[in-house]
Amino acid sequence: MSDKPIHLVILVGSNREGRFAPVIANWFTEQVRSNADFTVDVIDLADVALPAAISDTPSAEAVSFCERLAAADAFVMVVPEYNHSFPAVLKHAIDFGYHEWQAKPVGFVSYGGFAAGLRAVEHLRGVMAELHAMTMRDTVSFQNPWDAFDDEGHAIRPDGCAAAAAVMLHQLKWWATALRQARRAEPYIEAPAVPQKQDLADVG
């Protein structure tokens, strides 16, 4: 496997006023930066002015956003749970890409109330499967996160969440390395061409 670091894009998937997402995203980014296997690019969707509509003539902001996605070997989405699912701003951002997501691994750092954001993650798994991305089995999740961090953004009980992050990053490294090598060896194609009737007749 290649020794080149994995370029990880972290998407901060909330733009709601008063959001807790930056606290968790900053904590997770520090976990990644302490791991020499990764380089990191943090995209806070609150700072990305994507157009309201996806058009055939993308804006400069949309082009820049998709270029950052394309440069990634892997992704992590920091996602809260809103009404049993994930925020609209994250779905809108996902929809701006297509090929940029394909044949790459995706991990999740979720947070929320009783369910710790895991219902949002389960909805995201289906979306990312449709985009031919590979989601990681293990997640990092925070139940009632406002009780899990101090005023300076440090985890109050760091061992458990740091261990969960290490497990997910290990999985991301394996999949990102394997899929990067595979994409370089052969471009990813969604499905082989379906033979036409004449082609089948020729075979027969």
Give domain limits for the chain: 6-203
**pLDDT for the residue 61:** 95
Name which residue leads in pLDDT, 146 or 3.
146
Name which residue leads in pLDDT, 180 or 198.
180
**pLDDT for the residue 1:** 45
**pLDDT for the residue 192:** 76
Read off the pLDDT of residues 51-101 as tens digits, 9 standing for 90 and up: 999 888 889 999 999 999 999 999 999 999 999 999 999 999 999 999 999
Instruction: Say how many C-beta atoms besides its own lie within 10 A of residue 173's C-beta.
Output: 20
Helices (H), the chain: 21-33, 60-70, 88-96, 118-130, 158-185, 197-203
Where does the pLDDT of residue 190 fall: very low under 50, low under 70, confident under 90, or very high at 90 and above? Answer: confident
The residue among 22, 4, 8 whose CA lies nearest residue 145 is 22
Phi then psi dihedrals of residue 72, to 5 deg: -75, 145
Read off the pLDDT of residues 137-179 as tens digits, 9 standing for 90 and up: 999 999 999 999 999 999 999 999 999 999 999 999 999 999 9
How far is residue 167's CA from residue 161's CA, in Å, rounded to a whole number?
A: 10
Is residue 7 over pLDDT 50?
A: yes
What is the CATH architecture of 6-203? Answer: 3-Layer(aba) Sandwich (3.40)
What's the residue count for the chain?
Answer: 204
Read off the pLDDT of residues 100-128 as tens digits, 9 standing for 90 and up: 999 999 999 999 999 999 999 999 999 99
**pLDDT for the residue 134:** 98
32 and 169 Cβ atoms separated by less than 8 Å? yes
**Cα dihedral 17/19/72/40 (nearest 10):** 120
62 and 93 Cβ atoms separated by less than 8 Å? no
Instruction: Say how many C-beta atoms besides its own lie within 10 A of residue 80's C-beta.
Output: 22
How far is residue 66's CA from residue 58's CA, in Å, rounded to a whole number?
A: 10
Pairing of strands 74-80, 105-112: parallel
Is residue 202 over pLDDT 70?
A: no
**pLDDT for the residue 191:** 80
How far is residue 181's CA from residue 57's CA, in Å, rounded to a whole number?
A: 32
The residue among 138, 177, 127, 189 whose CA lies nearest residue 161 is 138
**pLDDT for the residue 35:** 96
**pLDDT for the residue 3:** 75
**pLDDT for the residue 106:** 98
**pLDDT for the residue 198:** 60
Structure tokens of 164?
């969960």
How far is residue 40's CA from residue 76's CA, in Å, rounded to a whole number?
A: 10
